[in-house]
Amino acid sequence: MKIEAINVSELLQAYIKQNYRDSDVLVVFQEVIDSLGSHEELFKDLDDIGLFPPKIFIHKDFMIIEMRKELATKIINKYSKSVIHMELYSNGDCIHETD
């Protein structure tokens, strides 16, 4: 048996490539959000467009939300200077993320 070390980011990317290969998804990492309480505005924005609570995939560390690339890009750009880390995946590849 061969055992390789793999980090959470690689595991997440492999999961997205397998399960959302023909989709655009926004991944919102929650570890910073919950600790700083900065999630309220983001969750309100998602609720305003009918995407909260996400019906796709929620994990204790992140949410995966399937949405159009243009909409996800607007959300990432809006929160680019905040403490919230987000990544946009298209066809399984990360194409945009917050700073």
CA 69 from centre of chain: 12
pTM score of the predicted model: 0.82
Residue 75's CB is within 10 A of a number of other CB atoms, namely 22
Structural element, H or E, at residue 89: strand 86-90
Q: Could you report the per-residue pLDDT of 54-79, keeping only the tens digit for each?
A: 767 777 788 899 999 999 999 999 98
Measuring CA to CA, how many Å separate 11 from each of 5, 16, 65, 70, 91? 10, 9, 17, 25, 16
Residue 18's CB is within 10 A of a number of other CB atoms, namely 9
- Residues of the chain predicted below pLDDT 70: 31-38, 55
Give the model's pLDDT for residue 88: 96
* Three-state DSSP state, 14: helix
Give the model's pLDDT for residue 86: 93
Give the model's pLDDT for residue 24: 95
